[in-house]
């Protein structure tokens, strides 16, 4: 692991509300870094600002002040189109609701990020098969999302997020809609991908079980990062207990 920061967030501030209405400070000065190859969790109760933070890093929203750098590149000054290209090339997304297009087959869904960058069809087909094998979904590539189970859908979504080999994978409550077995499978898969292919993962969750798969957890509360937990040499179960303890005292 080289010590290069994939994400650097400095004094991030986000305020909602116009001049005339009551203002709401979702983020009040957030600072942190995610190193290359790191698997970082962001935990917090709802309303704590974690989704706002993810949206800002995902360039879906603009900060009121402060700076976000991804791969040493400041994203605050990018124009609308540059932001889109940036999302298409550097970021992968996994959402709680899978966000698969139900009118495209699994394979076609996975191809989407590559078609956006106008990759050749042969290359796309190749990349889709590679990633599908890796996620063990090669058997249902021709099926439509409606024909898949929740766990399978999320695997397809993960494949779509990874097919263009992004530097950073953003996962927003990816296990939220899955049963416990599928959730465990997915988290193990994410860990494996993180370990083997140098993809940094930023996982937003309020579930301590999901969080226990991370290397490091940032606890966010009322728009600031309150504390952070580092796994180091602990086993996942030990780390899980630490998270629970921390949640018990932190609240």
Partner 1 sequence: MIRKLAFAGLHRRWADYLVLFSGLSIGAAIFYMFAALATNEKFLKANINVGSVTQVFVFGLILLTLITIVYVGYAQSFLLGMRYKDYGVFLTFGAKPRKISQMIMLETFAVQLGSTVIGLFLGMGLTKIASQWLAIQIHLPLTGLNVFQLPAVIITISLFVLLAICSTVVSQIIVRTKPLQSILKANQLTNHSDQNFKLKIFESITGLVLLIIGFTALFKIEVLQLAAIPVALVTISGGTYLVVHSVFSVIINWLKKRNFSYRGLRLFTLGQLQFRIENYTRVLSMVTILFALALGAIVVGIGYHRQIPIMSSYSSAYSMNITNPTKATDKIIAKMDLVKNVSYAQISDQKHIYLNQDQLRKQPLEAVVVPKAEHQLSQPHYKKIAAHKLVGRTVENRNLMLMESPALRGKQIVILPTKQFNQLAGTKSTLQLIRVRNLNQSFSKLKQLERYSSSTAAKQGYEITNSYEMFVISNTLFGGLEFIGLFLGIAFLTMLASCLMFKVLSGTQIDRNRYQMMMKIGVSIKQLKRAVAYEIGVLFVIPGAAGILYVGLGLQVFKKLMVNPYDQWWWAVLGFSICYGIYYLLTVKLYQRLVIQTNQTGGDKHGV
Nearest 5°: phi and psi at 249?
Answer: -90, -35
Q: Is 111 in the site for partner 1 (CB under 8 A)?
A: yes
**CA-to-CA dists, residue 71 to 89, 161, 199, angstroms:** 12, 18, 12
The C-alpha atoms of residue 190 and residue 192 are separated, in whole angstroms, by 5
* DSSP summary character for residue 193: H
In the complex, minimum distance from the CB of residue 236 to partner 1, in angstroms, rounded to a whole number? 27
Q: Using an 8 Å Cβ cutoff, are 156 and 148 in contact?
A: yes
Q: Is 108 in the site for partner 1 (CB under 8 A)?
A: yes
Q: Is 149 in the site for partner 1 (CB under 8 A)?
A: no
CA nearest 112: which of 95, 123, 124, 122? 124
Q: Cβ closer to partner 1: 114 or 178?
A: 114
Over the window 170 to 199, marking each residue x when it contacts partner 1 by CB under 8 A and - when it does not, the resulting string is ------------------------------
Over the window 26 to 55, marking each residue x when it contacts partner 1 by CB under 8 A and - when it does not, the resulting string is x-------------------xx-x-xx--x
Task: Name, in order, each residue with C-beta under 8 angstroms of 196's C-beta and a sequence gap of 6 or more.
Answer: none
Site for partner 1 in 128-147 (CB under 8 A): 144, 146-147
In the complex, minimum distance from the CB of residue 99 to partner 1, in angstroms, rounded to a whole number? 4
Beta-bridged to residue 10, according to DSSP, are 67
Enumerate binding residues for partner 1 (CB under 8 A).
14, 16, 26, 46-47, 49, 51-52, 55-56, 58, 60-61, 80-81, 83-89, 91, 93, 95, 99, 101-104, 108, 111-116, 118-121, 124, 144, 146-147, 160
């Amino acid at each position: 692991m080289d010590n290069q920061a994939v994400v650097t967030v400095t004094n991030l501030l986000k305020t909602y509300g116009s001049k005339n209405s009551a203002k709401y400070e979702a983020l009040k000065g957030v600072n942190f870094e995610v190193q290359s190859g790191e698997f970082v969790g962001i935990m917090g109760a709802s309303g704590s600002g974690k989704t706002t933070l993810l949206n800002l890093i995902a360039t879906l929203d603009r900060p009121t002040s402060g700076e976000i750098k991804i791969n040493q590149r400041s994203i605050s000054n990018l124009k609308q189109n540059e932001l889109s290209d940036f999302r298409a090339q550097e970021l992968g997304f996994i959402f709680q609701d899978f966000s698969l297009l139900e009118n495209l087959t699994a394979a076609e869904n996975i191809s989407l990020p590559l078609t956006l960058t106008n990759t050749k069809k042969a290359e796309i087909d190749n990349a889709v098969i590679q990633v599908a094998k890796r996620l063990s979904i090669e058997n249902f590539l021709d099926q439509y999302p409606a024909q898949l189970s929740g766990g399978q859908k999320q695997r397809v979504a993960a494949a779509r997020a990874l097919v263009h080999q992004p530097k950073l994978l953003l996962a927003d409550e990816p296990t939220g809609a899955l049963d416990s077995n599928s959730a465990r499978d997915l988290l193990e898969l994410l860990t494996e991908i993180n370990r083997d292919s140098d993809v940094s993962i930023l996982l937003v969750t309020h579930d301590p079980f999901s969080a226990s798969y991370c290397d490091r957890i940032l606890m966010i509360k009322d728009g600031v990062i309150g504390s952070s937990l580092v796994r180091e040499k602990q086993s996942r179960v030990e780390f899980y207990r630490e998270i629970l303890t921390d949640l018990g005292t932190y609240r």
